[in-house]
Amino acid sequence: MRQRPFPIVTAIVFAVTAVAEILQWTVPGWGAALERDPAGLTWGHWWRLFSPLLTQMASPGVSGTAQFVSNMLFLAVIGVGAEWVLGPRWWLAGYAVGGVAGQATGYWLEPPGGGTSVAVLGVAALLAVAVVLGERAPSVSLMFVGYFLAAITLGLLVNFGVAIVVIVAGAWCYQFARSRRPRRADLTLVGVAVLAAAVLIVAGDHHGWAFAAGLALGPLYRLAHRRRARAQGRDGRALGLAA
């Protein structure tokens, strides 16, 4: 079995986000200085365009600690699998595009606030694109893409109790289907994720826009994927001729 490279980008982003959260808990005013604040932008606080990614401000009905723990869990599980599939550069592209789109629409739809979830969803969307193009992703990472969007969508529309029940049942169905028809199960999960993102956009939740921004990178990733496949094909033919 080919050894997986260490997910260095995921590890660095995880560490930086964790340190920023510790500062939010220990330094008075840290979170408020970084969160989305439209008034702050008019005062010249340019860093507020991206700094909300470094503060986990609580959503309505959700504690800041719970938001931090869940976001970090999804960052780790989705991030590691996505970095193995996409590589560091495309991982960062998904993170940046999802983060910027999510925070920009957050200023429009849900100020004030903050959190790294939108950036993680940008990575998740690009991982979904890679799966559609035929890449094999770790099942746990792909399953957590569905978890993430389902939890946000059902939590917004119903409640988190219902979200947990649906997620557990969906996870069992996914694993059962994947043991028999892995490709079909993966594509179905991607379809569910895209549908959930569309529902979030209609419902006025900025997480849906972050996922859509990651999907928008799909054509560029597809082009790079084709070029890489052609290059590998040429290398394979060259090795065959040299043998």
> Which pLDDT tens digit goes with each residue over 44-86?
777 888 888 988 765 554 556 777 888 999 999 999 999 999 9
What pLDDT was estimated at residue 183? 93
Answer whether residue 1 is part of any domain.
no
State whether residue 56 is helix, strand or coil.
Answer: coil
Answer whether residue 2 is part of any domain.
no
> Domain count of the chain?
1
Answer whether residue 3 is part of any domain.
no
- For residue 71, which phi and psi values (nearest 5 degrees)? -65, -40
Answer whether residue 205 is part of any domain.
yes
Q: Quickly count: other Cβ atoms within 10 Å of residue 43's Cβ.
A: 9
What pLDDT was estimated at residue 1? 42
Q: Phi-psi bin for 61: left (phi > 0), alpha (psi -120 to 50), beta?
A: left
Q: Quickly count: other Cβ atoms within 10 Å of residue 72's Cβ.
A: 18
Average pLDDT, the chain: 87
Answer whether residue 120 is part of any domain.
yes
> What percent of the chain is predicted at pLDDT more than 70?
89
Q: Quickly count: other Cβ atoms within 10 Å of residue 130's Cβ.
A: 24
What pLDDT was estimated at residue 138? 92
Is the pTM higher than 0.85? The answer reads yes
Answer whether residue 53 is part of any domain.
yes
pLDDT in tens, 131-183: 999 999 999 999 999 999 998 898 888 877 788 888 889 889 998 999 999 99
Residues near 242 by beta carbon (within 8 Å), at least 6 away in sequence: none
Q: Which domain holds residue 206?
A: 8-242
What pLDDT was estimated at residue 226? 85
Please state the rounded mean pLDDT for residues 208-219. 96
pLDDT in tens, 30-53: 888 888 888 776 667 778 888 889
Better-predicted residue by pLDDT, 2 or 7: 7
Better-predicted residue by pLDDT, 225 or 59: 225
Answer whether residue 99 is part of any domain.
yes
Provide the H-helix boundaries in 27-63. Answer: 30-34, 38-42
What pLDDT was estimated at residue 113? 81
Helix, strand, coil shares of the chain, percent, nearest 5, are 80, 0, 20
Q: How far apart, in whole angstroms, are the C-alpha atoms of residue 126 and residue 123?
A: 5
Q: How far apart, in whole angstroms, are the C-alpha atoms of residue 164 and residue 135?
A: 29
Whether residue 238 has pLDDT greater than 70:
no
